[in-house]
Structure 1
């Protein structure tokens, strides 16, 4: 048995893989593969409409917000957000809490003034900055809710009198949020929603069209809204697999149930890290992510040996990012408690042999 702790693309439920593989051969008994059906066909329109409906249902998206399935990943959104929300003479506020937050603010600087309200870069992003003021004269405040590399997560929505923009690429659909608190949410699908290739955007309609900027059509949210995410050929297969995963999530009991499971999984692993004399957490305890658990060994010389043992036991993707080192267990929605328990058992076994 393989235990996939990889940071992305994500683990998906086995039943999703099975249904998707059947659709590659014959989609809905049409005699055609999902890979070859027209994105203008009624069959695919039904897919994208159901996917949108499930996102709206699972996240309780209120009226006045549009849901888009785009391409280019979060990296494209780093540019599309300021293009669409930052007036040419205005400014935006950004929280610098990790690599992806830093990349987002650097892209925004190409379109206008950016005020970095706080940063934890000096501590290698091991915590979420908390003491800062959001400027009231900015067009929006951008932050990243979960930092996959460093294993930190922001659970409380920042208080702001200006529109909030959030990159939720690695914790979307993993816990409850109040979409009405945000002006725009974006998320690459490949952590919790589906396979790589599609990006979810949830945007408040009345924020758009106010920059005074001539936006190329392919980067204009309004064009994609008007076309129902079909302005250009969409990522058909990625959207379909995301639909299957959204169905799976709803059948499980929705966001409330998956959040309950995610809390248990994270607590189980962090408890072992804190108890085990060989390991220690990399992120500050109060900001520990439920999605990406980062940890190191008190004796770094043992890390290669432990990593080799995890791979021997079928545990994939546990090597930490090069900027942090150590280990990173990405425990997204579809990873079961069985995999967590297997890792915990191995940590205990390793400690007994290397005490």
Structure 2
């Protein structure tokens, strides 16, 4: 990929969609270390200069640099891009082929091991594999034991189309799929594992027409489940910085339980628990209670049809009842008047009966 030359001044749609301006009022990810498994990252890009450790000066594909920007890009004058966790620290763990971005299960397993050894609280697998292996399973189990959260793309692109990604199929790994600008999953249908089970998806996040940092400092447009996983890894960093005592399992549970649920519920094979919501995940006080904000009592706006108050309403009801009574009495007077030919009743004259009144 050529070095990025275009710089987007506007704030990307993903920033508004995820409510990051308000989320950053609660946390910016400060002090949380995230390990990024990807072949290369241009750590010299202005937005990444103070964010990335271990980045090289080149990135042939540009994908790793973009993921680092989605995750933790710093504010740069003239740029509207800001990372999901703009004060988190990113350690690059070179993993996979710089020419293709692909990695073997053994390479990813080694990368996860190195990330755990570095003390990272979050591991973002930026390059997946469609093959499982005992080494990869062991590496994920070791990360879980070390209280490190692993986030990975739900699928990986291949020449035969997307396939279920690994290690995303492991129960302790947050498996993330992409959604578009309207929040709709990008995948057209669920994928099936060799065992016959549906591929795992825990959350969805933006993964279509996403603005990220490019090699050289410009901006590029990226897409895919790997990009979506970067947003979720950033959301995890925000939550960990706000509540440092949370375990990786508690962070995982918080992100999934506060997501925008699919109309099909948590069992939706395309979106899992739903769209990640960083602000909602942090708007829970320690102990599981919602954060309250002091405010005034609710006062409804005046109705365009006028005010409805107790006294005017009672007056209207009283007048209506009076009119009904007068109508009934008037009807009786008219009926009796017609029966007597409109002459006054003589003393002792009986009241005439209606033709439809039964004789007693």
**Shorter-chain TM-score above 0.5:** no
Say which structure, 1 or 2, has more relative contact order (CA 8 Å, 6+ apart).
1
Structure with the higher helix share, 1 or 2: 1
Structure-2-length-normalised TM-score:
0.29
